Structure 1
Amino acid sequence: MNLMPLLAARRDAGKPVRVALIGAGKFGSMFLSQVPHIAGLEVAVIADLDPERAKQACRQVGWDEARIEATRYVADGAEAAAMDGIEVVIEATGHPAAGARHALAAITAGKHVVMVNVEADVLVGPVLATRAQAAGVVYSMAYGDQPALVSEMVDWARATGFTVAAAGKGTKYLPAYHQVTPDDVWTHYGLTPEAAKAAGMNPQMFNSFLDGTKSAIEMAAIANACGLDVPEAGLAFPPVGVDDLAHVLRPKAVGGQLDRDGMVEVVSSLERDGRPVFRDLRWGVYVVLKAPNDYAAACFKQYGLPTDSTGQYAAMYKPFHLIGLELSMSVLNAALRSEPTGSTREWRGDAAAVAKRDLKAGEMLDREGGYTVYGRLMPARASREVRALPIGLAHGVKLERDVAAGQVVTSDDVALDETQAIVSLRRELEATEW
């Protein structure tokens, strides 16, 4: 709770925190909108495949022309990451291979990394985090995004002496969503294709949130950062409102739906018949706590926490997340405290590619949110055993044999280029005991 005094001291000393932003999309633009209002924080360079688009993004979020002209714009993220005078690099492209490449460039150059790119983090994050630690720099989750917010809640719970029974987020989910493609995604968002196009909304990107892929990726990131377990059968997406979190997200042995304490799970804002869940958590995050003793359990009720029927389990939640508007928290923690706002520490969860329909040999996989595969959460152990193809590599690769709908695609099913840097990093992850 002392970030602003620390930042003020840097500002007064004429040493502002200088940032390189890679990727000026929605997340990056939300961060840029806040920068002019945080004295002592400067974005020195913005990298985007279209630098003019990045300039336009700055105008759209309210930057004045003087600030725009004082900022450098480049097309190469690695170039931006290696620039002199930069302390923190924000990787916000959403592209796994590019994200890993940019993170490595930043780490090599001695810069802290804020990894908005959770896709890259789940694909090879433990390797990147290990290299950052060896280089003496911070490798951090992005505050404002749900994995970092959940990690903060888990850390708080453990630091105050509670067992974490469950942690995760809410989303809009029905089982049929796993088969949705970009062609019909907007009907589930209540939009027409024309309205979505006018708003600049990418159907494949938004479909990755709907078809379960983003949930799988984000829960894998939380498991890897917090040492939590992953359901053997993947996410169940139980329909649960905030009042029932502690009742449902507790072990089966005491009447809940989890295999044991210490699990990640996503709750749905829709009942299975499509009706809205009462007091849903669609935009928020939660943690379910287990009291260490009867005295603490009594305090749960005394101080208004919603508990289960035993009184031993209680839930805390945050009903929203503000994404890029909160990202400066990660930047400032890295620069001023040398601390991450959540960080990958081990490999416990993975997001595997699963066939949306019967796929035939010769077809090309088209990445998350597309027409061919979606991401399913798996224990990392199980993923390694079956050689599951991570969703982060399921892009532009050809199937060498048929895969039935609902089946996990394996590395043996596709023609991967083992010489690619991102594939080599992934193989390093798979070969390491975490």
Structure 2
Amino acid sequence: MVYHHLYSKFARDGQVRAGVIGAGNYGTAIVTQDPHTPRLSVVIVADISLDAARGAYLKAGFEPATIAYADSVEAAQSAIEAGKRVYTDKPLIVVDLPSVDVVCESTGIAEASVVYALRAIENRKHVAMITKDCDVTVGPMLKKLAREAGVVYTPVDGDQHGLFIQFYEWAKSVGLTVISGGKATDGEFIYDDETGVARVVTDKPIHSPYQASFVVDPEDRQYLQMIPQGLTQDYVARRTAILNKLPQPGSYDLCEMTIAANYTGLSPAVDTLIHAPLRITEIPVAYCEQEHGGLFDRAGKIDLATCLRAPTESGLGGGVFLVVRCDNAYSNHVLTTKGQIANYDDTAAVIYRPYHLCGVETSTSILMAGLLGIDTGSDDYLPRYDLVKIAARDIQAGEVFGNDHSPQLVARIVPAQPVAPGNLACSHLLVGNRALVDIPAGTAITYDMVEEPAGSPLWGLRRRQDQTFLTQEPAVAAPRLEKV
């Protein structure tokens, strides 16, 4: 990479001072990389749990004597000027602090996230948006406001959608035609051909009705072999049915792909995404156009893949992938014969990044914002699509809607619509709010089914985004909305 050349030649300052709001797993990883990352100093960490905020510094190896608690901007500023790192349980200190250049918003709570992001932008601070719940709801408006204020609003390296956006931008910059792309789910399906056992490798808990492993029926095992030429649709359909006992992608996966679609203009083929279980070698076979043996009616699609592999094979590592071609015949010959994995007629090849390092590599986005004043997303961030929710079970009037990890609801990706009665509700405008009516299982949640919280900054900014970008007619044709 050429980052160090860019920093040394064009940096506006020698050091970037970052503040982290939300010391969960992701935010903590930003802090623990501080001592090892040139030009980056995390000067303050905020969390409602003081133990979490202080613990981020301790995990990074800072001596207790070098960190200090502060409950005001003045106290925090004095401590930093004295060479201390600050922790606090008052997040607004971070966005008001003169010693912070970049605010890393990592609360995971959209209602809180939008407050901190707006205040940071008003204070002329860059925002590294890690809370995808906020980004998927009002990200385009926040980016517009940041641009008008002369600061950066950016997705982050380390989160899959952020990495995918950069990967897509790179492909376009070197003249590749992007047929499709997406991210790998964190869990991978391991199939042992000798024993017939299929199992999942994941760091997430496994809940009923899913199971960690099972023995595949002998008559089904052929569908877990390499997809033969011309049989993609049959194999993917059968394989999906066979492996549906293992954990499937969650709403959080579709959330990231919604953000990526809004940044890139790639579109989902169906509102659920296909999310096929595929070997790396099968991605260009399945995720290309139907005329070349794939699943898509046309190029320009976004989707998920769950890596299917043998116990001794390497996987996708929760990374990102693109299926591409070169439109020049000679260039395409080079693409498909110099080590890249191609489909059967050599009209598409997969290129992939088999890792995402969460907060560990987020420093790239922070430094690009703070040193160069540029983001690691793209300029064409528009509210093309919304993540919406379907009731997975009967929901009673007065019941509180859960988040993307709740089994109460399942997600779909649809063309974005303004906040209005009868329109499908953006999923994170539901979270923590009550159902106004009884909602039968299988029902798509609309705005007239949810009680709008009084004075919500998130709902207010979403309406402003709708007025800025959306008309009553969706900008893209709606895919068919599948029921549960």
Identify whether the pair has TM-score above 0.5, normalized to the shorter chain: yes
One-letter amino acid of the structure 1 residue matched with residue 449 of structure 2 = D
SS in 2 for 1:45: strand
- Once the two structures are TM-superposed, the CA of residue 384 in structure 1 deviates from its matched residue by 8.0
Gaps of 5+ in 1: 191-208
Residue 336 of structure 1 pairs with residue 335 of structure 2? no
Q: Structure 1, residues 216-257: CA drift from partner, whole Å, max 9, x if none?
A: 110011011112113343211111111111111112233211
> 1:239 — aligned with what?
277
Q: Structure 1, residues 389-420: CA drift from partner, whole Å, max 9, x if none?
A: 22212222221223232332111111112531
SS in 1 for 2:29: helix
Residue 308 of structure 1 pairs with residue 343 of structure 2? yes
> Is the deviation greater in 157-166 or in 402-411?
402-411
- Once the two structures are TM-superposed, the CA of residue 15 in structure 1 deviates from its matched residue by 4.5
Instruction: From the superposition, tell whether residues 157 and 14 of structure 1 become closer, same or farther in structure 2 (CA, over 3 Å).
Output: closer
If the length of structure 2 is used for normalisation, what is the TM-score? 0.77
Tell me, in whole angstroms, the C-alpha distance in 1 between the residues paired with 2:43 and 2:135: 25
> 1:360 — aligned with what?
396
Residue 376 of structure 1 pairs with residue 412 of structure 2? yes
Check the 8 A contact 2:164/2:182 in 1, yes or no: yes
> 1:24 — aligned with what?
23
Tell me, in whole angstroms, the C-alpha distance in 1 between the residues paired with 2:257 and 2:18: 28
Residues 30-49 of structure 1: pairs in structure 2 closer than 5 A: 30-49=29-48
Check the 8 A contact 2:178/2:322 in 1, yes or no: yes
Give 2:160's match in structure 1, choosing from 123, 130, 146. 146
Check the 8 A contact 1:170/1:282 in 2, yes or no: yes
SS in 1 for 2:285: helix
Give 1:398's match in structure 2, choosing from 434, 438, 447. 434
Tell me, in whole angstroms, the C-alpha distance in 1 between the residues paired with 2:135 and 2:423: 19
Residue 419 of structure 1 pairs with residue 442 of structure 2? no
SS in 2 for 1:90: strand
Check the 8 A contact 2:389/2:444 in 1, yes or no: yes
Residues 202-281 of structure 1: pairs in structure 2 closer than 5 A: 212-269=250-307, 280-281=315-316
Residue 65 of structure 1 pairs with residue 64 of structure 2? yes
Tell me, in whole angstroms, the C-alpha distance in 2 between the residues paired with 1:336 and 1:143: 16
- Once the two structures are TM-superposed, the CA of residue 40 in structure 1 deviates from its matched residue by 2.7
One-letter amino acid of the structure 2 residue matched with residue 37 of structure 1 = H
Q: Structure 1, residues 187-232: CA drift from partner, whole Å, max 9, x if none?
A: 7579xxxxxxxxxxxxxxxxxx965211111001101111211334
Residues 290-301 of structure 1: pairs in structure 2 closer than 5 A: 290-301=325-336
Q: Structure 1, residues 100-127: CA drift from partner, whole Å, max 9, x if none?
A: 1111111100011100111100011011
Tell me, in whole angstroms, the C-alpha distance in 2 between the residues paired with 1:62 and 1:357: 46
Give 1:184's match in structure 2, choosing from 198, 202, 207. 207
Instruction: From the superposition, tell whether residues 330 and 186 of structure 1 become closer, same or farther in structure 2 (CA, over 3 Å).
Output: farther
Check the 8 A contact 1:165/1:250 in 2, yes or no: yes
Check the 8 A contact 1:358/1:403 in 2, yes or no: yes
- Once the two structures are TM-superposed, the CA of residue 54 in structure 1 deviates from its matched residue by 0.9
Residues 27-176 of structure 1: pairs in structure 2 closer than 5 A: 27-69=26-68, 70-171=84-185, 172=187
Tell me, in whole angstroms, the C-alpha distance in 1 between the residues paired with 2:25 and 2:102: 19
Higher helix share: 1
One-letter amino acid of the structure 1 residue matched with residue 401 of structure 2 = L
Tell me, in whole angstroms, the C-alpha distance in 2 between the residues paired with 1:412 and 1:97: 20
- Once the two structures are TM-superposed, the CA of residue 383 in structure 1 deviates from its matched residue by 9.5
One-letter amino acid of the structure 1 residue matched with residue 113 of structure 2 = G
Tell me, in whole angstroms, the C-alpha distance in 1 between the residues paired with 2:350 and 2:386: 26
If the length of structure 1 is used for normalisation, what is the TM-score? 0.85
Check the 8 A contact 1:116/1:142 in 2, yes or no: yes
SS in 1 for 2:448: helix
Tell me, in whole angstroms, the C-alpha distance in 2 between the residues paired with 1:29 and 1:155: 28
One-letter amino acid of the structure 1 residue matched with residue 163 of structure 2 = L
One-letter amino acid of the structure 1 residue matched with residue 356 of structure 2 = H
Q: Structure 1, residues 168-189: CA drift from partner, whole Å, max 9, x if none?
A: 1111489xx9xxx989379757
Check the 8 A contact 1:33/1:63 in 2, yes or no: no
> Is the deviation greater in 317-326 or in 378-387?
378-387
SS in 2 for 1:403: coil
> Is the deviation greater in 2-11 or in 42-51?
2-11
Q: Structure 1, residues 126-159: CA drift from partner, whole Å, max 9, x if none?
A: 1101100100111110111101111111011101
Sequence identity percentage: 30
Runs of 4 or more above 4 Å deviation:
5-11, 185-190, 275-280, 381-386
Tell me, in whole angstroms, the C-alpha distance in 2 between the residues paired with 1:185 and 1:87: 45
Check the 8 A contact 2:417/2:424 in 1, yes or no: no
Instruction: From the superposition, tell whether residues 38 and 183 of structure 1 become closer, same or farther in structure 2 (CA, over 3 Å).
Output: closer
Aligned residue pairs: how many?
407
Tell me, in whole angstroms, the C-alpha distance in 2 between the residues paired with 1:156 and 1:43: 29
SS in 2 for 1:388: coil
